[in-house]
A = this chain, B = another copy of it.
Amino acid sequence: MNDSPVTPDNSHTIAELIRSQLNQFSPAEMKIVNHLLANYPMSGMVSITELSESCGVSTPTVMRTLKKIGYSSFTTFQKELKDELQQTLSDPITKHDQWAADAPESHVLNKVAETVTTNLRHSLNQISHEQFDAIVDLLAQQERALHIVGGRITSAFARYLNTHLEVIRENVHIFPEAVALWPHHLLKIKPDDVLIVFDVRRYEQDLITTSRLANARGAKIILFTDQWLSPVAGYADHTLPIRIEGKSGWDSGVVTLFFAEALVVALEEKLWSQTSERMRELENMFDLTERFKKRTE
């Protein structure tokens, strides 16, 4: 066990100080520190009474927690928090651009955040709600078997989507990893089945071929691709052109995942009556197999 819980305190924000001890809190104490970190630092800028009520614990518990963290009283804790906030606000160059993405030479995190939100905005403008809804409607028809396939990089998204859709509806199948097995899997695709394809540059020959053949067998094709459109678009019934541009050449997959996730949410809402039972069963499975840690809440 790597104990060393009390590392020499070089954390210069209270948040870091708390996080460095996150493993040594009791349940009630966890409620408190979670709430503190949740919308830091303003969550701490209230009276101890208010704070304790927001957390659903008693005020002495708050006191004890703060003592544990290293403050002799609530008052001194809040004073330090206030100082830290003061520092942050009055030091715009160093600290404030931790929150502001507009600084020209900013941290990587901010640059990537900026890029991703831009991509998201453009993609949302590009894809109409009707188009999206049409896809959801198609996926809601459970008599159509659903197949999912992705490429070298996008196969991760294919898996992610598969894992979630499997919970929501039946008849969901993902293509095997080995490309050599794809022709075999193609045989399972019947007319009126649905095939979801992820293909962003660089477009892969196997995906193109597979889509063409699936199309020939009468399958509906939904395509997740980038703004330059994969050749698969020629066979697709629904194409989602997603902006994947990264600043210096790299491609971002975040927005692609976003749309996959939105699809899951929309479908779950639509099928809820039929789905809830399915999810309950799954919960039971999890409980029985004990693969998961029991929830403490």
Which residues of A are interface residues toward B (Cβ below 8 A)? 1-2, 13, 15-16, 19, 22-23, 34, 37-42, 45-46, 82, 85-86, 89-90, 92-94, 98-101, 107-114, 116-117, 120-122, 124-129, 131-132, 152-153, 155-157, 159-160, 163-164, 201-206, 208, 212, 215-216, 227-229, 231, 233-235, 237, 239, 241, 246, 250, 252-254, 257-258, 261-262, 264-266, 268-269, 286, 290-293, 295
Known: A38-B227, A202-B293, A231-B293. A129 touches B152 (CB 8 A): no
Known: A159-B159, A208-B293. A121 touches B109 (CB 8 A): no
**A-B complex: 7 closest residue pairs judged by Cβ atoms:** A92-B99, A156-B160, A202-B292, A203-B293, A23-B234, A108-B266, A112-B262
Known: A2-B237, A39-B90, A160-B156. A99 touches B124 (CB 8 A): yes
Oligomeric state, in copies: 2
> How far is A19 from B239 in the complex, measured between Cα atoms in Å?
9
Cross-chain contact B262 with A128 (CB below 8 angstroms): no
Known: A101-B93, A250-B265. A205 touches B290 (CB 8 A): yes
Cross-chain contact A98 with B129 (CB below 8 angstroms): yes
> How far is A100 from B250 in the complex, measured between Cα atoms in Å?
29
Cross-chain contact B122 with A94 (CB below 8 angstroms): no
How far in angstroms is the closest Cβ of chain B from A116?
6
How far in angstroms is the closest Cβ of chain B from A193?
14
Cross-chain contact B101 with A92 (CB below 8 angstroms): yes
Contacts of A257 in B (CB 8 A): 253-254, 257
How far in angstroms is the closest Cβ of chain B from A180?
12
18 A-B pairs, CB-CB below 8 angstroms? A22-B229, A37-B126, A42-B89, A46-B82, A93-B114, A98-B121, A108-B265, A108-B266, A109-B129, A116-B120, A117-B117, A117-B120, A159-B159, A201-B295, A202-B286, A203-B293, A205-B290, A252-B261
